[in-house]
Amino acid sequence: MGDASESDLERAEGFKLQANEAFKAHRFFQAVDLYSQAIELNGLNAVYWANRAFAHTKLEEYGSAVQDATKAIEVDPKYSKGYYRRGAAYLAMGKFKEALKDFQQLKRICPNDPDAAKKLKECEKAVQKIRFEEAIAVDDASRPSVADSIDFHSIDVEPQYAGARIEGDVVTLDFVKKMIDDFRNQKSLHKRYAYQIVLQTRKMLQALPSLVDITVEDGTHFTVCGDVHGQFYDLLNIFELNGLPSDDNPYLFNGDFVDRGSFSLEVILTLFALKCMSPQGIHLARGNHESKSMNKIYGFEGEVRSKLSETFVELFAEVFCCLPLAHVINNKVLVVHGGLFSVDGVKLSDIRAIDRFHEPPEEGLMCELLWSDPQPQPGRGPSKRGVGLSFGGDVTKRFLQENNLDLVVRSHEVKDEGYEIDHDGKLITVFSAPNYCDQMGNKGAFIRFKAPQLKPDIISFSAVPHPDVKPMAYANNFLRMFS
């Protein structure tokens, strides 16, 4: 990146202006592409790097955002936006202590900027809170289960409660339909029944292996959905288009049920109630957002606290640790939330052997299953998210051959059409939250497989209206300051 000529500088500015327009129109992939062209022509302009960092942040590519913001700072150590963008990306990754350093530096560069002061103060509060929580934390293994301390039978239901009721121990279709209808009208479920559903689901999930085998009989079909992310009204639309889950119409929801969308509680209670009603009609896999650290930042914890109680926050965290990590359909199709591994030679038996009953670790097979992403080039590379890795088509092909499989289906990434086919057709990404976060303009999709061929039939759909509650309404204050 030597000295750029006059004409290069002008062309670079042109790309930047186009990129800014794409960004304003929420076309973030295009914005990244255009900023990259500007950087190629003039890599010594800190603004281009910081702007591309911001576009990466919008795409949840926080690892890449940190790299770009760092580059902006190297180019111009006094450029305040470099620290601001990097601090925001660290926050989104839950790296509060790293974020704090950047906001302290921001305050030094802009001592009189009230916004910088406010962000620094919020960041200090968040770090203090984390230090306090770490100081009083009990090791998970030695902590008694909150689920074991709850007796929902002893909770009285007030006579004036007019919502859905479970008679006895059986969750029926009538109950589920009434509950869904109440949720649609923004009414809540009595906490007695919420406890009953969550505890019953926990018991079922606990008994499952980490890798679940699914059999689809010849002539019947099976539907796989990707991330729903608290978009309850779009979930109902999937059921409108494709029928409610049942033994004859089975589904797999492939993780990231909660966070970001502000109807996450309604989504998770609906999925769990359907699981209670029809254990074979709906399968649930863990995503990277079914974890305490994510739920603390991206809204689920705040939403549960606001709509139910602190006890439910702990209970959901326990139940999320029981969710299986992967599913195999008819010994042919592997379905995981994120993707494949940093090492070759991983067998399905290795996935089966994972002890999953804890929060996701920062590395290893469980982490990679939940966090990895495919890349177009062969081999493996660092993750654009800063967790997990990126893996190429050769990695996918080898894994499938070694395990005698045909296809990997995964979710975890927003796609314009709701899906994307990669790695010579050996890998499909499916994402089921259309117009993600009310701003991405993408479609959602689900995949129907019909046995015996199991040829993927992909159906795309658009977003439907929802009540005026913004995404991230319950998220960490701190992150809301940046959205």
Query: Residue 373: beta bridge partners?
Result: 390
- Cα(457)–Cα(223) distance, integer angstroms: 9
Decide if 429 contacts 273 (C-beta within 8 A). no
Decide if 456 contacts 430 (C-beta within 8 A). no
Decide if 56 contacts 32 (C-beta within 8 A). yes
Decide if 370 contacts 255 (C-beta within 8 A). yes
3-state secondary structure 7-20: HHHHHHHHHHHHHH
> Of 305, 212, 217, 291, which is closest to residue 257 (Cα–Cα)?
291
> Which pair of structure tokens corresponds to residue 365?
């097979």
Q: Which of 56, 190, 283, 289 is catalytic?
A: 289
Decide if 106 contacts 73 (C-beta within 8 A). no
Close Cβ partners of 359 (under 8 Å, ≥ 6 residues apart): 140, 291, 292, 293, 317, 321
β-pairing, 333-336 with 407-410?
A: parallel
Phi/psi for 304 (5° steps) reads -65, -40
* Other beta carbons less than 10 A from residue 369's beta carbon: 30
> Of 316, 360, 314, 335, which is closest to residue 227 (Cα–Cα)?
335
Specify whether 358 is catalytic.
no
Report residue 92 CA to chain centroid gap. 12
Phi/psi for 49 (5° steps) reads -65, -45
> Which pair of structure tokens corresponds to residue 321?
């640790």
- Cα(115)–Cα(121) distance, integer angstroms: 10
Phi/psi for 251 (5° steps) reads -130, 155
Q: Percent helix, strand, coil in the chain (nearest 5)?
A: 50, 15, 40
> Of 252, 243, 292, which is closest to residue 275 (Cα–Cα)?
252
Dihedral angle, C-alpha 342, 345, 348, 354, nearest 10 °: -50
DSSP assignments along 98-155, one per residue: HHHHHHHHHHHH-TT-HHHHHHHHHHHHHHHHHHHHHHH---GGGSPPSGGG--GGGS
Tell me which residues are annotated as active site: 289
